[in-house]
Amino acid sequence: MIHLKMGQELITKRQILFVKALRNKPSTQKEIIDYITTRDEEIGPIDRNMFERDKRTIKNVWNVEINYKAGKYEIIDSYNDNDSIKRLISSYELIYALNRPHTLHQNLYLQRTATNQTKYFDDILNAIDHKNVIEFQLDSYERGKSKRKCAPVAIKEANHRWYLIGYDIDKKAFRNYGLDRVNSLRNIDEKCTPPPFNVDEKFAQTIGIEYDKEVKEIILQFDLSQKKYIEYLPIHTSQEIKNSSDTTFDVHLFLQPTYELKMKILEYGEHCEVLAPASLRAELKMTIEKLYEKYNY
């Protein structure tokens, strides 16, 4: 079992429930308190001072603004764009679900993933804060084991894997390292301020972990049966749906044509066709022809 019902963890749970109470509709103070206390009996009574303290923490620490209007509290629209807060809430929901009696291994089934990807998070973030250099062993699938030194700048998730983005001291260039292949990581007594690297800008128009290609307008044509799925879970934030008919619709994207994008397109199989650019269409055609050769027997 995962034990979170003590100290700061319980306070955090209370604040998460506070935000969840307002996620669907504006609510009075009593409605919020009732929502929180009925979801977790260990939280106990909540007085006005505690309520106001949690509201201030949610604003100052979580960066979620709560307005008061006509006797009810509500979250302003910026919350809808705050992916970090949504992920935090989802993580706590999962943890508390796992703490329910008879849940683990019986009613809640998790996808199997590499379990060692997050063990160096604290060391990496600490190195970023203090401009420290880190040293680690990289177990490359293609090149074997090697020692690396870098000035870390960020941790990024892509395709269910976590990556360390860092300035490689020896290569004098930025590199991405899959954390499932990183071992023996440690902070060393060496400082380094890497060149500017804006993670948001670098990855704004890409899918996955690549970011060194020219941005193109990509047009994909889908069977109409896929429209609800594409609307609910967009391929990318640049997505625009156009030219809907009785049988098909087009999706316009502004992205780098990376390997990860090609793999994403192939996931849709016969339901998706690349209309533009011609270069990407040709690459997908070549891949499909090679697949056909493998299965044509």
The CA-CA-CA angle for residues 38, 44, 50, to 5°, reads 105
With beta carbons less than 8 A apart as the criterion, state whether 71 and 32 touch. no
DSSP annotation string for 97-123:
HHTSTTTBTTTB-PPP--TTTTTTHHH
Contact present, 265 and 255 (Cβ < 8 Å)? no
Fold of domain 7-98: Arc Repressor Mutant, subunit A (1.10.10)
Q: Would you list the domain boundaries of the chain?
A: 7-98, 121-199, 204-295
Q: What is the pLDDT of residue 5?
A: 45
Return the pLDDT at 270: 93
Close Cβ partners of 132 (under 8 Å, ≥ 6 residues apart): 126, 151, 187, 188, 190, 191, 192
> Is the distance from CB of 121 to CB of 185 less than 8 angstroms?
no
pLDDT digits 0-9 by tens, 94-124: 766 666 665 555 666 666 666 678 888 989 9
- Give the pLDDT of residue 29: 92
Q: How far apart are CA 183 and CA 136, in angstroms?
A: 6
Q: Identify the sign of the CA torsion 274, 81, 37, 99.
A: positive
Contact 164, 185 (CB under 8 A): no
Instruction: Report which residue type is found at 14.
Output: R
Position of tokens 């994909």? 220
- pLDDT for the residue numbered 272: 95
Residue type, 273: E
Collect the ranges in the chain with pLDDT lower than 70: 1-9, 77-85, 88, 92-93, 95-115
**How much is the pLDDT for 22?**
85
Q: How high is the pLDDT of residue 217?
A: 96
- Residue 36's pLDDT is 87
Domain with residues 121-199, CATH architecture: Roll (2.30)
**Where do the H-state alpha helices sit in 61-120?**
83-98
Contact 44, 37 (CB under 8 A): yes
